Amino acid sequence: MLFSAFLAVFVHSSSMAQEHKVTGTVISAEDNTPMPGVYVVIKGGTTGTTTDANGNYSVNVPGTDAVLFFSFIGFVSQEIVVGTNPVLNVTMEPEFTQLGEIVVTALGIAKEKKALTYAAQTVDAGALQESRELNAINALGGKVAGLDLMRSNAGVGSASRVVLRGNRSIAGNNQPLYVVDGVPIQNNTFMQTYGEGGGLTSSDGISNINPDDIESLTVLKGASATALYGTRANNGAIIITTKKGISKKGIGLEYSLNYSIESPVILSKFQNTYGQGASGIYQPVQEFDWGPPLDGRQVEHWTPDVNSPKYGTTYSFVAHPDNLKDFFQNATNVTNTLGLTAGSENVQAYFSYTNTNSKGIIRNNELKRHNFNLRITSKLSKRLSADAKVTYYHHQINNRVSTGDDFYNPMRAILRQPTNISTEEAQTYEYFDNSGFRLQNYWNPHSNGGENPWWMINRIPAKETRDRVLGMASLKYELMDGLSIQVRSAIDYASDAYAQQSYTDTYTIADRGNFRTYKSLNYELNNDLLINYNKTFGDFSVNVSAGGNLLTQEWLNTSVNAGSLLKPNLFTFGNAAGLSASEDGATKKLNSIYGFASLGYKNYLFLDLTARNDWSSTLPPENWSYFYPSAGLTWVISDMIKSLPAFLTFAKVRASIAQVGNDTDPYQLAPQFTFYQGGANGYASRGGTQPATDLKPEITTSKEIGADIRFFQNRLGIDFTWYRSNSKNQLLGVSLPVASGYNSKFINAGNIQNTGVELVLNGTPIKGDLTWDISVNWATNQSLVVKITDEMKSYPLTGRQWMTTTIVREGEEFGLILTKKFLRNDAGRVLIDPNGKPLVSDGQTEPGGTYNPDWIGGITNTFTWKAFDLQFMIDFRQGGMIYSFTEANLSSDGFSDYTLEGRDGFVVDGVMASDGSENTIEITSEAYWQHLGGRNTPTGEPYGYDASNSRLRALVLGYTHNFKNFPLRNLRISLEGRNLFFLYNKAKYVDPNLASGNSNVQGVEGFGLPSTRSIGMNLRLTF
Amino acid sequence: MKTNKLINILLSGLLVVFVFGGCTSDFEEINTNKRVLAELDQATIGNVYAATQFNGLMQGWDFQTSQNLFSDLYSQYYSNWQTKFQTDRNVLNRDWLGGAWSGFYGQAGKNMEVILDATDPAVSPGLEKQYALAQIWKVFMYQRITDYWGPIPYSQVNNAENTVPYDSQQDIYADFISLLDAATTMLASYHGENAYGTNDQIYGGDVDKWITFANTLRLRVALRISKVDPARAKTQAEKAVADGVMETNDDNAIFQTSGNENTGGWNALCIMLPWNEFRMSASMESVLKGYNDPRLSAYFQPAVNDGEYRGMRNGLSVVQISEPQRHYDNISTMSPRWATYANIGKTPVEVILASEAYLLRAEGALKGWSMGITAEEAYNKGIEMSLEYWGADAATIAAYQQSMATPAAVSDFDSPPMTNIPVKFGSDPATQLEQIITQKWLALFPDGWEAWADRRRLELPKLYDIMVSDNPDVPVGQIMRRVGYVPGEMATNKEALDDGIVKLGGPDKANTRLWWDPPLK
């Protein structure tokens, strides 16, 4: 239907307007050398090009009144009226800020940054490529005001969680929409877990994008910026523009190599004074370090292998403080990228291939990744141009690291290895009994929850693969000067597979072996049409667009689990003692039409208006159509009033208001009776969610004001934004009393209010041979739960976790953490029970802070001297809480250093609950920490830490050399370090910026991998 | 002219956009989930009933957080071996109980009402048998739940509202009797017929067996209320016996398991045993070994390390559990019937056995009720049925009934014998009652729900004290009287819960007695 719509337009067209070709060379004022890669775009349009390796460009403009923008990171952008001259050479002046920069906004429309009515921050693609991380999006941390980035701790290929301007959705997704070359892409996480319970968290969709293909990346934070993307951009959008081919002679080639080594940053502190056992008694089967002193006494060896020479012998009872360190290896990342560009006047191609090989700090945790990208842009006729792109992505991740209290998590095993057991001996993780069965060599055979950590990384092999194809094709036809129509079709297809084999004798979880597979297919098709009209009438400029989008999403998940194996260690489904399979899937359609108008007056006053209507298949018929508008105004004071003081270079103020609607998941409207295996004929059960028959779309309303002021010829600039968003009618699956027959029902409720301030400060304190640029960003956001419903004052974000429950509660900040705390008297003294132990709350009922930071920020300093540059970035995250389930376990098992205190007895500071008298009853630290910690419902209070921290996030030292008259035109080599050290970390035992998974449940970690310190080099050769 | 043409083109383009934008004809089809049924057709009612049997027995993943960590320990069938589990030391872990609560209401409770709505003769005539069988099963499963907590949501379950009121236990028990009356009256017209067929995993749909089950359940209910409402208890017990309770092991209600842990329908103990979390209790060791009870090897197996049957005391501190003599390989685990994972879909679950019916009659007869049998006869029949069920031959049974052996001392903490009664029926009523309840405790194994209820009602059997209590409300020497309400109810049904606590008549603690459990005079 879409294509025929295009044809209809195409056939009818008979415009004869004069097209005009402009060519030229762009050179740098710095050294008068040609500048490749300069972005050349027709103002107000969606077409543009980049200069070739020799700084040449060629572009067809609609007429002589067309305006070309020239833009390059680090240089003053220029705006030039084409006129009649077919040759337009441009000299670019370096600058530290991007005044006059072109920003690619919603629907791929290029806009002058000064005309924007909302905050947008662009990040240099170089930041993604140098000092790189496996997940390109991680490079944004600390760089963008109001962007809160949390990494998850699942080893190589971990997902991240990006939140712009605070959490606003109670039950849904809080991450932004990613848009690549004008088309939204999926950012789903195939397997997702949360909190201290843990499990597997896969890579996220955005990590599939190759940083080497990225030309520029713009963060659109507010609803105003993203109103045109609708529903899915409710949380802001990150707009990625990828590279295109350029017209030039011969083939341009770029090669880069990135190599880095990572080492774990171990923050847990262990005691090395006491060994395995309980109550001071050595017991080889214990998984605690509450045993006798490690004084070198001879103790019975632990191995259950009767054929081992160690069996029945004794060994020296001494500490092995490096057990954890020895368990890890240094991680390595090697990335090779080859980029090719070629092009004639009418057809340009860009091809790239990137190969990534990573080894994690956990042995056998590996990632292999291939990115292929081919993009062809062409001018099919004078007025018809085409843009087509195919991206193929493949990864294989071996032995993805499970998180939290999941029994598959190897961290859980190594952290709990008694210190008297040496790595060397533990590394003999298996043996064969007399009948030839492979058995685990472990100190507590058949333990419930304990395993030999080396068995876990060798005998529970898992393989995860993802294949993803992103395809895009668009055709654009210029009907007449300033009027164009574009049709585009884009597909995003991803196939995920996970297969895990557990060898027989993997205690509790797979005593009899196990083989399981998960598969997932995700498909998204976007068809859109955009009509754009762009014209200047005297003092007024008009840019109007209208269009529509048809979105289809489909997913299918299947899992097959061989519960136990008949023949040990033969991993086929035919060998299953009990086989179960499940399947789930859904389809969703979202149809949209939208319109957009930007009106300019004398190039200093701009008014933006947008409107969008969505039709979502997930909502009931009476509510499936919903409309939402936005409006914004920008006033560039410095362009209007020419008599401003000389020190004031640029000043603008802006204001906007916007609404964005949101729908829900498929299949919420009808009752559901499910069937499952059991009994003679199967079991049936009614679903737990009460069908919602009158759901309304969710609406977020945002207001934003801001100012952008620059002084002293751009040596100093301040960008300030204040915003407030209110998300109402949220679709909540609210909990019902389970006796009502339903666990939950969907209602429209809530008013989550996010209010915040963002500040970006840029300065150039020193300019000359040595230049020092400094960029500071700072943001604070408060997420306030204004209301849930009249009756409902609080709402859980998920089910109960071992140690914490995260809820939203009226009148409080979003993401309140409930946990168990000490009971205290009015004077705040801890109450003590008759046994001398502190009394704690019965359940997770006590508020223990939120996970939201009070503020986040970053400082980036860049020094350039001749061909050298040095950049370092410090990030900050202040406030919020992090609860450590790891410490709750390490302390109760006697591993933490602080458990040394009171081993022979101490008196807990507190008063007797019975009569208020001072506590005098002595208990051991063993009794104390076992009372508070442990796996089952530990008391969170002693394990909750202030998450404030700051660290040297990145350091890059680079050298660039330009060659003249040599095939190699440019060489850049840089040394880089990431996550080098903490300036401070109040949560001393954990890295508070690492999360268990990327869901809405944050503020708690459980047996996570430590963060890593990385040091590497990057080499880039341009031919 | 050119401009007009262009405008036409634009408008037609926009029109197309609007048409496809508003094209919603396939939306309802797209938003229909074809992997589920949107309506409960008549053919599916039996499948829901089948699920309700499994879930009503709490054999699902909530088995541990309902039965195993609470009543199984408070009836001292087992002792806890996990250092980190505190319920054996009388700590009310409300989070675990939350799993039990939502496991029950979220599955069995909900689906029971679905069945009753779908088979209500007033709405769907022709499904009377199905309706009656559901009513009987409803009584069975709710008795366990109210006997854990006291007042619970009952009469207005499945109201789909934000609040579900609590009913007093007195009202709930009154309704149990009404339901049994209604069901047995209705079923009287269907002798020899079948309902639910193979979806009934207990009796294969045999209506007559269900009538006997209902009468036996009535007898159980009657004795439960015998302290608080003796007159009604007597009437109900006598009616039950007159109408016909279970008399042979052929009458036994036994849930036939199926499947594996990835499906439903299994025996939960077979999943749990390899986790090594609990072991034979010292009380079990004292009685089974002292009596040289043939059920010893049916229930337990010798310790791995030395081949001896050995239990351990309840309520051990973390330190005590960790002592090497109590390593799980030094203590008896359950017999291979349950301790073998492969039996997960083979080992059946005992629901109510004829042995219990006789021992209930023995207690009734001791009270002077007309039980159609003397207390001693009923006592010996109860023993006979139980031993026969667990595989003993007639000679062994006869010898056991006459045995003067008494419970043995236990090595764990050098504990003296649990009590001094022999098997042979005694002469004074106090001994007789202790014997009846001790034998009932043995016969009910492994049904901790029922055994803990008897222990609260009669302070029998005379189980060992726990070693350590971590709950100041229930110190060593006292017993747990109930379990506590759960965080989910505090969060979602607070108002109703507060009213429930008023109906409980005491604080929401473990030492508050239930309605049927006033102190013994």
Q: Lowest mean pLDDT: which of A211-220, A557-566, B223-232, B448-457?
A: A211-220
A678 vs B16, B33, B264: nearest CB: B264
Q: Is B125 exposed, middle or buried (0-12, 13-18, 19+ CB in 10 A)?
A: exposed
Amino acid at A579: L
The mean per-residue pLDDT over the stretch A894-915 comes to: 95
- The DSSP 8-state label assigned to residue B194 in this structure reads B
Matching residue, tokens 């992090």? A882
- Of B47, B217, B344, B101, nearest to A685 by C-alpha is B47
- Identify the band that residue A8 occupies on the pLDDT scale cut at 50, 70 and 90: very low
The mean per-residue pLDDT over the stretch A427-450 comes to: 91
Q: In B253-282, which positions are buried (b, 16+ CB within 10 angstroms) versus exposed (e)?
A: bbbbbbbbbbbbbbbbbbbbbbbbbbbbbb
A584 vs B35, B44, B488: nearest CB: B35
CA A714-A718-A724 angle, to 5 degrees, is 150
A740 vs B5, B160, B262: nearest CB: B160
A121 against B505, higher pLDDT: B505
Share of chain A above pLDDT 90, in %: 46
Q: Lowest mean pLDDT: which of A243-252, A436-445, A916-925, B228-237?
A: A243-252
Three-state secondary structure call for residue A600: strand
Query: Are B35 and A585 an interchain contact pair (Cβ–Cβ within 8 Å)?
Result: yes
> A745 to chain B, minimum CA–CA distance in Å?
9
**Dihedrals phi, psi of B474, to nearest 5 degrees:** -130, 80
Residues of B in contact with A480 (CB under 8 A): 6
| Helices of type H across A331-467 | 410-414, 423-426, 453-459
Q: Under a CB-based contact definition with an 8 Å cutoff, are residues B70 and B88 in contact?
A: no
CB neighbourhood size of A67 (10 A): 18
CB neighbourhood size of B223 (10 A): 24
B165 against A536, higher pLDDT: B165
User: What confidence score (pLDDT) does residue A195 get?
Assistant: 67
Q: Under a CB-based contact definition with an 8 Å cutoff, are residues A453 and A414 in contact?
A: yes
Strand pairing category for B253-255 and B349-352: antiparallel
Contacts of B345 (CB under 8 A, 6+ apart): A578, B257, B258, B259, B260, B265, B266, B267
**pLDDT exceeds 90 at position B317:** no
- Of B433, B461, B443, nearest to B387 by C-alpha is B443
CA distances from A110 to A39, A47, A241, B471 (A): 11, 8, 11, 69
The mean per-residue pLDDT over the stretch A589-618 comes to: 91
Alpha-carbon radius of gyration of chain B: 27
The mean per-residue pLDDT over the stretch B500-509 comes to: 96
Strand pairing category for A689-690 and A683-686: unpaired
pLDDT digits (tens, 9 = 90+) for A73-101: 667 777 787 777 788 888 887 654 434 56
Longest dimension (CA), chain A: 98
Nearest CA in chain B to A589: B27
Query: For chain A, how are helix, strand and coil distributed in percent, rounded to 5?
Result: 10, 50, 40
Q: Under a CB-based contact definition with an 8 Å cutoff, are residues A515 and A562 in contact?
A: yes
- Of A984, A765, A947, A731, nearest to A854 by C-alpha is A947
State the Cα–Cα distance between residues A560 and A518, nearest whole angstrom: 7
- Of A810, A758, A806, A807, nearest to A784 by C-alpha is A810
User: What confidence score (pLDDT) does residue B401 get?
Assistant: 97
Find residue A60's DSSP bridge partners: A21
Contacts of B470 (CB under 8 A, 6+ apart): A833, A835, A837, B86, B89, B90, B91
User: What confidence score (pLDDT) does residue A518 get?
Assistant: 93
State the Cα–Cα distance between residues B375 and B362, nearest whole angstrom: 4
pLDDT digits (tens, 9 = 90+) for A960-1018: 988 887 888 889 999 989 889 999 999 999 998 877 666 666 788 888 889 889 999 99
**pLDDT exceeds 60 at position B128:** yes
Q: Which of A740, A839, A931 to mutate to test the interface with B (most CBs of B within 10 A)?
A: A740
State the Cα–Cα distance between residues B216 and A155, nearest whole angstrom: 59
**pLDDT exceeds 60 at position B285:** yes
State the Cα–Cα distance between residues B367 and B363, nearest whole angstrom: 7
User: What confidence score (pLDDT) does residue A47 get?
Assistant: 67
Query: Are A281 and B160 an interchain contact pair (Cβ–Cβ within 8 Å)?
Result: no
Q: What is the token pair recorded at B72?
A: 């199984």
Contacts of A7 (CB under 8 A, 6+ apart): none
- Identify the band that residue B85 occupies on the pLDDT scale cut at 50, 70 and 90: confident
**pLDDT exceeds 60 at position B216:** yes
pLDDT digits (tens, 9 = 90+) for A515-566: 999 999 999 999 999 998 988 888 998 989 999 999 999 999 999 998 789 9
**pLDDT exceeds 80 at position A731:** no
Highest-scoring range by mean pLDDT, A94-103, B34-43, B282-291: B282-291
Nearest CA in chain B to A595: B14
The mean pLDDT value of chain A amounts to: 86
A563 vs B16, B20, B260: nearest CB: B260
- Of B516, B484, B518, B519, nearest to B500 by C-alpha is B484
Query: Are A681 and B30 an interchain contact pair (Cβ–Cβ within 8 Å)?
Result: no
- The DSSP 8-state label assigned to residue A573 in this structure reads G
A850 against A52, higher pLDDT: A850
User: What confidence score (pLDDT) does residue A998 get?
Assistant: 63
- Of B426, B313, B268, B293, nearest to B73 by C-alpha is B313
Matching residue, tokens 């009372």? A931
- In this prediction, the answer to ipTM > 0.95 reads no
Residues of A in contact with B17 (CB under 8 A): 5, 529, 546-548, 593
Q: Under a CB-based contact definition with an 8 Å cutoff, are residues A1020 and A254 in contact?
A: yes
Residues of A in contact with B496 (CB under 8 A): 737
Three-state secondary structure call for residue A185: strand
pLDDT digits (tens, 9 = 90+) for B39-63: 888 889 999 999 999 999 999 889 9
CA A702-A706-A712 angle, to 5 degrees, is 165
User: What confidence score (pLDDT) does residue A480 get?
Assistant: 86
State the Cα–Cα distance between residues B149 and B71, nearest whole angstrom: 12
Share of chain B above pLDDT 90, in %: 80
CA B76-B79-B85 angle, to 5 degrees, is 120
CB of A280 within 8 Å of a chain B CB? The answer is: no
User: What confidence score (pLDDT) does residue A99 get?
Assistant: 41
User: What confidence score (pLDDT) does residue B82 get?
Assistant: 84
Longest dimension (CA), chain B: 119
- Of A287, A307, A603, nearest to A439 by C-alpha is A307
B22 vs A579, A591, A935: nearest CB: A591
Q: Under a CB-based contact definition with an 8 Å cutoff, are residues B67 and B103 in contact?
A: no
Tell if the pTM clears 0.90, that is, is over it. no
Q: Under a CB-based contact definition with an 8 Å cutoff, are residues A731 and A698 in contact?
A: yes
Contacts of B366 (CB under 8 A, 6+ apart): B375, B429, B432, B433, B436
